[in-house]
Amino acid sequence: MMRQITQACATVLLLAAGLSCPGIAAAHGVSSGEDDPCLRRVGEHLVHFSAYQPQYQLNDQYCTDIPQEGDTFLVVDLVDPALRDEPVGMRVVRGNGRDEALGEIVADLRPSHHPDGVLRGEVRLDEGLYTVIIAAEKQNLMRRPQYLLRVHMTDYQKLMASVGAPLLGVLLAGWLGYKLFRSKWLQDWWVALRS
């Protein structure tokens, strides 16, 4: 009986430890390019998007969730050198990007050459959804990469993952503690201890 209780407690502790750290795998600084949510394809070529708000956090970079409203620096790294020889542009549209013609254009960087491999822009973003569209002049524009930006919005999925998992661990540990407390073995041990 004691062995089963020990195994159950160890399992609960391992489960709670694993669930309470959901942000570890979701961090931006991943080593594999395939796992990087900011890496997209323009035709056969790769681009990497980053957004910065140095007035709030000097070194933090964002891809899709931007924590504050305000001036934001947008940077597109043209990962493949072949893209440096063709005009590449960027457009920022208010909204979710389903219908670009209906959205308000917030910034429009016309396609041009970027020999240093970096496309830069600055835009003021208010709270809401924005779509960043990157297009190479020679590529099929229907298959252009898009980034959906959530500016100063609560991501309820991440919130539930960060709060729900530890809460589930605490509830499970409480339930196991209750079962242990109500067990005949513990009651017999307590009676033997008191006598």
CA distance 66 to 102: 23
Q: What pLDDT, on a 0 to 100 scale, did the predictor assign at position 28?
A: 45
Q: What pLDDT, on a 0 to 100 scale, did the predictor assign at position 36?
A: 82
30 in helix, strand or coil? coil
Exposed/middle/buried for 62, CB within 10 Å: 0-12, 13-18, 19+? buried
Write down the architecture of domain 37-153 according to CATH. Sandwich (2.60)
Contact 190, 180 (CB under 8 A): no
Q: What pLDDT, on a 0 to 100 scale, did the predictor assign at position 13?
A: 46
Domain assignments of the chain as residue spans, ordered by start: 37-153, 155-195
State yes or no: pLDDT of 17 exceeds 70.
no
Q: What pLDDT, on a 0 to 100 scale, did the predictor assign at position 26?
A: 34
Q: What pLDDT, on a 0 to 100 scale, did the predictor assign at position 100?
A: 56
Distances (CA, A) of 83 to 7, 108, 162: 57, 19, 39
* pTM assigned to the model: 0.61
Contact 97, 146 (CB under 8 A): yes
Q: What is the DSSP letter of 48?
A: E
DSSP assignment of 56-91 = T-SS-EESSEE-S-EEEEEEEEE-SGGGGGS-EEEE
- Residue range 145-173: mean pLDDT, rounded: 81
Place 53 in a pLDDT band, splitting at 50, 70 and 90. Answer: very high
